[in-house]
A and B are shown apart, each in its own frame.
Chain A
Amino acid sequence: MKPKVAFFSFTSCEGCQLTVLECEDILLDMLGQIEIVRFREASSLKRDDYEIAFIEGSASRPDDVTRMRKIRERANLVVAIGACAVSGGVNFMKNFHYLQRTREHVYGAQADWFPTTQVQPVEAVIKVDHSVYGCPMTKDEFLETVKSLLVGRTPRIPQYPVCVECKMAENVCLFHRGQTCLGPVIRAGCQAFCPGLGAGCDGCRGLAPDHNLASLTNVLGEYGMKPEEVRRKLRLFNGYIEVQP
């Protein structure tokens, strides 16, 4: 029996759902192993007998919490896919502004037409069994997770920082070029994608376990970044760490 799988989308850009469809070369093989019973972006099928639920996006509307709890009740496994689901992603930056003023700034007199709450990652609402990191998530890590769940093992997700993969790719360190980068504290698994392209890591995959943020803050200080600028930079994808229980 193929496991029944559903995809759900909350507040996000839907780029992680699109990443699933962009597994072109392996998409048909993957679809042969699972039964997709719900995937709004790609299918009109709407069934609730799923065993594995992949959730993209954050909770940020009044009924999102209820929807997520319903999914948790029905699914055996819940997998958060992408930064918005895992840690709030860029959405979380909204939480550092006054909510009512935010609504009025964008929608003016019609602010009440667009109900919104503080942004919450999935784990702040329901129990999450696995996370696929990144903005967007990478195909490789998604496929690793799907394959692992199919054979019943824990997905192999790197616990070391981006620097490890960056060194293995033999990139010249961006700090040597006078640029800055969050690679020393951010979880690897992206193959140092952005530093490899000459762009400093923005931290979309979240802090690595056992990171040394204090040390990186010192180094960034030597490159002219004040501690409050470091905090602001981290808020791009990781504002949640400031309130995380």
Chain B
Amino acid sequence: MTDITINVEHIARVEGHGNVVMSVRDGRIKELRLEIVESPRFFEVMLQGRPWHEVPHIVARICGICAASHTLASLRAVEDAFKLVPSPQTVLLRKLLLYGEFLQSHLLHVYFLVAPDFFRVDSVIPLASTHPEVVKRALRMKMLANELCAVVGGRHIHPVTPVPGGFTRLNRN
């Protein structure tokens, strides 16, 4: 029977922070733990005493990868508080922003975070030499997804234009 101890401090290539701890004694798992080592932020308290119109900008900073989702969720919360119903156009544009984020996040996940494991390399960097066409295509798709977010929200990481009730500016190009 084998005794194994696995201690993965900081799992690489994930969105977020985690450790995995596993110990096997006499062929049985004695301990198996996923530790979430994300640094706590305390946004619930940071928001206290801030004006309502700042809320979407503050909570976007919960996560740079899914900032649009946090922005959109908080816009709904603020609008609910005011019993404000956004126009159908605003809802459609917000959905477009959300789908842009889905695309960019999934592309990041598949090509940058997961693919290196299948090819047994550390990161996407070596893949750029061994599979240049695939990596370049992935980068092009990611740029397109970012562009989609930017057209609606100004930018993908921490959108600027979405505000309670609509947008500060609509892209007319």
Evaluate whether A24 and B42 lie within 8 angstroms (CB atoms) in the complex, with A18-B157, A43-B12, A193-B155 already known: no
- Does A90 sit within 8 A of B, measured CB to CB? yes
B161 CB–A CB distance under 8 Å: yes
Instruction: Check if A28 is an interface residue, CB within 8 A of chain B.
Output: yes
Asked if A22 contacts B146 (CB within 8 A), the reply is yes
Q: If A28-B135, A36-B125, A44-B12 touch, does A91 touch B41 (CB 8 Å cutoff)? A: yes
Known A15-B67, A27-B139, A90-B61; judge A135-B158 contact (CB<8 A).
Answer: yes
Give the shortest distance, in Å, between B73 (CB) and chain A (any CB): 15
Cβ B142 vs Cβ A198 within 8 A: no
Given contacts A44-B13, A44-B116, A44-B122, contact A89 B57 (CB under 8 A): no
In the complex, A63→B57 CA distance in Å?
29
| B39:A61 contact, CB within 8 angstroms | yes
* B91 is an interface residue with CB less than 8 A from chain A: no
Instruction: Identify A197's interface contact among B44, B157, B161, CB under 8 A.
Output: B161
Task: Scan B143-154; emit 1 where CB is below 8 A from any A CB, else 0.
Answer: 100100000001
Instruction: For B67, list chain A residues within 8 Å (CB).
Output: 13, 15
In chain B, what residue has the closest Cβ to A113? B40
| A contact residues, total (Cβ < 8 Å) | 54
Nearest to A38 among chain B residues (CB) is: B12
In the complex, residue of chain A having the shortest beta-carbon distance to the beta carbon of B117: A44
Taking a contact as CB atoms closer than 8 A, the residue among B139, B146, B158 that contacts A136 in the complex is B158
Complex contacts, B10 vs chain A, CB 8 Å: 40, 46
Complex CA–CA separation, A15 to B112 (angstroms):
15
Q: Which residue of B lies closest to A98 (CB)?
A: B45
Q: For residues 16 through 71 of chain B, which have their beta carbon under 8 Å from a beta carbon of chain A?
A: 17, 39-42, 44-46, 48-50, 54, 57-58, 61-65, 67
**Could you jot down 22 A-B contacts, CB within 8 Å?**
A9-B17, A14-B63, A14-B65, A15-B64, A22-B146, A22-B156, A24-B142, A25-B143, A31-B128, A60-B39, A93-B46, A97-B48, A106-B40, A106-B45, A116-B40, A198-B168, A199-B163, A199-B169, A202-B54, A232-B50, A236-B54, A236-B57
